[in-house]
């Protein structure tokens, strides 16, 4: 998750160009990057941020360890890209007046570490809560289950971005794209009595599915599954989505 | 470099859909991937090919070792993605009637391995020569210099795709985007008496600059530098470029 600027950034700062690339050939407005895990789709984008522009990389010890075990991420030069270890539920102050906390979320270690000695600790897969100017957003792109502590945290958010990987737990098997269930991959399904729709039915926040797999029929506008989640108050994220709090 | 299909593929095979994604949700027509080195821009794209589709990954021992030192590339499941070690100047038979050879090219180890014990061997950075149906193409995206052996190989090609990273050796320094010369990064400049224009002036092949850095003024249509290389018979590659042999 890229933290570009505070959602409550004053208009004069927006107009100053603070959200646009700095002057110079390769300037970037990105000040901080927070990671929710070390799965490929969570970290591969870092390789596109390696052009010697400074930022702070914030993640749990487990995630930073996974990065450090891959020499390729040494391309994020340590003298420019500060690694900051975040503990769970530790309040973090970010540029632009943002506050953030990482919180425990059931999940698993990245696939490419499954055969290693790495074990899924409570900090292998996390969610992020971001607050600014009295508004809160929760970002949970991967969740194998919803815990009571998560419910408590999500209930106070204005917007929840939640794991929408699969509609059905056996979807990868049914479509011939894989041999594992969603839960085996660390992702709870949307449907069913132990799916995310049921688990988060009590949340008042604006709720948006993210991390949607290309087998998930909610991606298809007008599909029965899309209607099903929309009727229950959910949205489906799309490229370029902007959220105003 | 992705090898999709032979340039001399019969028309009936083209029309059969062999160049299009297979049936199924995630089919890919890619049969083989050859690497010229393990720098990030040469290998990061592999992470987008990890959806459990089979292909053969062909590279030198140095490059495959660099990949293996990064657990993240374990996502290319060994039971689906065969690693094939290629020696320099060893003729390789590829699907579609293609023949290929990797050849020594002066260069260096990837930046992220510079501080390790890895030393630049003759197989850290290579070029590729591909032949099919009597036509030849040479692909040299990174070259610190041109050797007599390279001249001999490039002279027999119909098309040469060559390292166009920088126009001037001090370009990164002059534009404030870096502190190193091109040669320090393993890339000879285009201009100058020891640049690529001079080194390859005797080659009769169609010549196209690739791997062009965003500081290189040949990217700007109508610039003096673009005119300079075009007047000397060179083209500048662009996204979507197709070459018919």
3-state secondary structure chain A: CEECCCCCCCHHHHHCCCCCCCCCCCCCCCCEEECCCCCHHHHHHHHHHCCCCCEEEEECHHHHHHHHCCHHHHHCCCCCEEEEECCCCCCEEEHHHEEEEEEECCCCCCHHHCCCCCCCCCCCCEEEEEEECCEEEEEECCCCCCCHHHHHHHHCCCEEEEECCCCCCCHHHHCCCCCCCCHHHCCCCCCCCCCHHHHCCCCCCEEEEECCCCCCHHHCCCCHHHHHHHHCCEEECCCCCCCCC
Q: What share of chain B has pLDDT > 70, as a percent?
A: 87
pLDDT at A13: 35
Higher pLDDT among residues A24 and B212, named by residue: B212
pTM of the model: 0.86
Whether residue B70 and residue A71 make contact (CB cut-off 8 A), yes or no, is yes
Does the pLDDT of residue B10 top 90, yes or no?
A: no
Whether residue A47 and residue B44 make contact (CB cut-off 8 A), yes or no, is yes
pLDDT at B69: 95
Weakest mean pLDDT among A7-11, A138-142, B105-109, B122-126: A7-11
Whether residue B178 and residue A112 make contact (CB cut-off 8 A), yes or no, is no
From chain A, the residues in CB contact with B185 under 8 A are none
Does the pLDDT of residue B29 top 90, yes or no?
A: no
From chain A, the residues in CB contact with B115 under 8 A are 74
Whether residue B43 and residue A72 make contact (CB cut-off 8 A), yes or no, is yes
pLDDT at A11: 37
Distance CA A107, CA A38 (A): 12
Weakest mean pLDDT among A15-19, A114-118, B85-89, B188-192: A15-19
pLDDT at B110: 87
Query: What are the φ/ψ torsions at residue A230 (nearest 5 degrees)?
Result: -65, -40
Give the residue on B whose Cα is nearest the Cα of A46: B44
pLDDT at B177: 85
Weakest mean pLDDT among A59-63, B55-59, B102-106, B178-182: B178-182
Does the pLDDT of residue B149 top 70, yes or no?
A: yes
Q: Name the residue among A40, A175, A215 with its Cβ closest to that of B75.
A: A40
pLDDT at B109: 86
Give the residue on B whose Cα is nearest the Cα of A25: B177
pLDDT at A147: 96
Residues in a beta bridge with B28: none
pLDDT per position as a tens digit, B45-83: 999 888 778 999 999 999 999 999 999 999 999 999 999
Give the residue on A whose Cα is nearest the Cα of B75: A112
pLDDT at A179: 87
Counting one residue from A and one from B, how many pairs have CB atoms under 8 Å apart?
A: 69
From chain B, the residues in CB contact with A42 under 8 A are none
Question: Which residues of chain A fall short of a pLDDT of 70?
Answer: 1-26, 116-120
Distance CA B66, CA B116 (A): 11
* CA distance to A26, B104, B117, B147, B186, per residue, from B121 (Å): 32, 10, 12, 16, 13
Does the pLDDT of residue B220 top 60, yes or no?
A: yes
Does the pLDDT of residue B193 top 60, yes or no?
A: yes
pLDDT at B187: 94
pLDDT at B70: 96
Does the pLDDT of residue B88 top 70, yes or no?
A: yes
Whether residue A72 and residue B177 make contact (CB cut-off 8 A), yes or no, is no
């Amino acid at each position: 998750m890229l933290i570009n600027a505070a959602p409550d950034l004053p208009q004069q700062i927006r107009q100053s160009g603070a959200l646009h690339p700095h002057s110079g050939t390769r300037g970037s407005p990105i000040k901080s990057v927070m990671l929710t895990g070390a799965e490929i789709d969570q970290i591969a984008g870092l390789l596109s941020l390696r052009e010697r522009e400074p930022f702070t990389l914030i993640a749990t010890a487990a995630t930073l360890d996974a990065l450090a075990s891959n020499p390729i991420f040494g391309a994020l030069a340590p003298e420019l890209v500060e690694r900051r270890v975040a503990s769970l539920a530790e309040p973090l102050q970010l540029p632009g007046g943002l506050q953030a906390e990482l919180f425990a979320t059931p999940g698993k270690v990245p696939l490419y570490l499954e055969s290693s000695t790495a074990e899924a600790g409570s900090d292998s897969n996390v969610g992020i809560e971001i607050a600014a100017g009295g508004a809160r957003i929760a970002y949970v792109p991967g969740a194998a289950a919803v815990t009571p502590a998560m419910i408590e945290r999500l209930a106070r958010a204005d917007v929840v971005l939640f794991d929408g990987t699969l509609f059905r737990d056996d979807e990868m098997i049914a479509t011939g794209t894989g041999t594992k269930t969603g839960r085996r991959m660390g992702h709870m399904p949307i449907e069913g009595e132990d799916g995310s729709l049921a688990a988060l039915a009590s949340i008042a926040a604006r709720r948006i599915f993210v991390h949607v797999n290309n087998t998930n029929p909610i991606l298809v506008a007008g599909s029965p599954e899309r209607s099903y989640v929309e009727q229950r108050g959910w949205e489906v994220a799309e490229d370029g989505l902007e959220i105003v709090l």
